[in-house]
Every structure is written in structure tokens, then in C-alpha cells.
Amino acid sequence: MPPIPSTLSQKSGGTAQTALRILIVEDDVIIAMLLEATLADMGHTVCAIEGTETGAVDAAARHRTDLLIVDAGLSEGTGISAVDRILCDGFVPHIFVSGADLDPEKLNPRAVRVRKPYDERDLSAAIEQAFSTPVTI
């Protein structure tokens, strides 16, 4: 995983949170744009937005992101399969967002799940959880 950029102060709650380079995998353009704006307000950088499994895998290889925020259901492929393919090159913290319940048995044990609709507080807590989940070797 690449080094994480400088620390910024998070707007909601005032706690320090590291600025991250984030790949958004979301096939709904409006949701992707709103998420991008929210993450920018939180001090993070969105390095790419992809709406398909193949696009997500390619973007992850190109951008070497710190975090993935992934919609489980995509118009082409699935977010779950995209993450499985991305993790073949090494672990990247990731958050699945979905309007439906996700079966934890189908996800990487370190995956963080957030149910739509969510707000900035939910997103901030999920990001913290994604980076605090213990590594098992």
C-alpha cells in the first residue's frame, strides 16, 4: 500500500483524519458525484470514479489508491468481484456501500459495510474502521 498523505482535520467532529487517495466504484453518476463532493469536503482526493468491474480493476492498478469505496451492484460485473480481483495484487482497505444487505461470507473478512443511505458521519466512521481493522497474517 502506498504511503498515506499528510494529516488533515476532518470537518465533522474535529478529529484528525489522514487525507486519502480514494477510488470510487459506483455506476450511479449522481451518487458518485455526491460521494466525490463529500469526500473532498472531508479533505480526501478522489483519483478516479469507475462504474464497471473492469474499469475499477484497471483504475486501481493505475492509481494505487489508499482506499476503495465500492457499490456492491454494478451495471457491468459486481463490486464484490472487482474488489476480489484488486486484492490479488495486495490488500487495499475497502468499504462496500449498498442499499441491500450484503452477505459477509461473500466479502473479504476485513471489508467494511455501509448501508445506503448514509451521511458524512457514517462515511467517516467507515473510513476509520477500514484502517483500524486488524491485519491477520
Q: Which of 126, 32, 16, 14 is nearest to 75 (CA)?
A: 32
Per-residue pLDDT at 130: 94
Per-residue pLDDT at 60: 97
pTM, 2 dp? 0.84
Contact 10, 88 (CB under 8 A): no
Per-residue pLDDT at 5: 40
DSSP secondary structure of 31-54? HHHHHHHHHHHTT-EEEEEE-BHH
Q: What is the mean pLDDT of each run of 10 residues along the chain (137 residues)?
A: 37 59 97 96 97 97 96 93 95 92 83 92 95 65
Distances in Å between the Cα of 59 and the Cα atoms of 17, 39, 89, 121 are 24, 18, 13, 27
